[in-house]
Amino acid sequence: MAKVIGSGDSCMFVVEMGVGPGRANNRDDVALVQYFLNLWFAHPDNAGARAKAGASLKVDGLIGPKTNGRIKAFQSYMKANGRALLADGCIDRMRDEMIMIGDDSGSVYAIFCLNVEIMQLYVQDLVNLRRRADYPNRLEPMLMKYVAGLFEDAA
């Protein structure tokens, strides 16, 4: 199940079980990846990548060839543009909420890269995504759990 991690005014949306071929493909994890990919490809700065990736995804939490293709297209574009990203066609959970892969490649997790890209293109605080008209209802409970935790920590 997708979740929000972080503290204070800094947070990140993460998958818990992985999305893509050979992964668990939990519906909330898939919906989060679909939504983030749609946001990224829709931004005017990414018109070149969008032309190669095709139509936007239905954010339904169901994995299929279109979602898999979009994951690969995003990862390929990022790698071609100098990002140290593991481009294996999967969006994996971050082990121990760390950014770096535990190997010698120095690659970052694709979910981390997606978060950074969305923050840079749309909002500095990812919690504000819920104010967008296209924010998926399916993702609201995980965000509200995070926000409620902030209020508990402040009390």
Please tell me the total number of residues recorded for the chain in this structure.
Answer: 155
Is the predicted pLDDT of residue 26 greater than 90, yes or no? yes
In a domain, 152, yes or no: no
The band of 77, judged by pLDDT with boundaries at 50, 70 and 90, is very high
How many contiguous H segments (helices) and E segments (strands) does the chain have?
Answer: 5, 2
Cα–Cα distance, 37 to 145 (Å, whole number): 23
The band of 86, judged by pLDDT with boundaries at 50, 70 and 90, is confident
- Using a cut of 0.85, tell me whether the model's pTM lies above it: yes
In a domain, 155, yes or no: no
In a domain, 123, yes or no: yes
What residues make up the domain containing 72?
3-147
Q: How many domains does the chain have?
A: 1
Q: Which two tokens stand for residue 21?
A: 């071929």
